[in-house]
Amino acid sequence: GAVVSQHPSRVICKSGTSVKIECRSLDFQATTMFWYRQFPKQSLMLMATSNEGSKATYEQGVEKDKFLINHASLTLSTLTVTSAHPEDSSFYICSARKASGSGETQYFGPGTRLLVL
């Protein structure tokens, strides 16, 4: 199998606080993890690509100081939304590709719903 978990599944926070979302590959090592944001009834928007042991590559328009990504091991990447504001409320999804094999397929976590009050 190729299982990816995300924690928490849902979080409500006050404006100005920081929120950390964890993405773990449970049964495989992930060379690369991706972070997406999805607005209601829309497709996925790639925020950043994270490779183990190196700095994340952010997509144009995504503030790297606001969305901090750490990929400290081959099974864990974290996304921290710093000083969250209501406009950061969204559904955040991570995915991971295997370090072994062809590695083209991305396996997705169940997502995290963030609501900033």
Partner 1 sequence: AQTVTQSQPEMSVQEAETVTLSCTYDTSENNYYLFWYKQPPSRQMILVIRQEAYKQQNATENRFSVNFQKAAKSFSLKISDSQLGDTAMYFCAFMKSHSNYQLIWGAGTKLIIKP
Q: Which stretch binds partner 1 (CB under 8 A): 11-19, 34-42, 60-68, 82-90?
A: 34-42
Identity of the residue, 17 or 105, whose beta carbon is nearer to partner 1 in the bound complex: 105
Q: Is 32 in the site for partner 1 (CB under 8 A)?
A: yes
Q: Is the distance from CB of 11 to CB of 116 less than 8 angstroms?
A: no
Q: Which of 28, 25, 33 is nearest to 6 (CA)?
A: 25
Spatial distance between the Cα atoms of 115 and 108, rounded to a whole number of angstroms:
21
Phi, psi of 48 (to 5 degrees): -160, 155
Decide: is 95 part of the binding site for partner 1 (CB under 8 A). yes
107 touching partner 1, by CB under 8 A: yes
Instruction: Find the angle CA(93)-CA(36)-CA(99) to the nearest 5 degrees.
Output: 80
If one asks whether residue 89 binds partner 1 (CB under 8 A), the answer comes out as no
Among positions 52, 74, 91, 99, the unique one binding partner 1 when judged by CB under 8 A? 91
47 lines the binding site for partner 1 (CB under 8 A): no
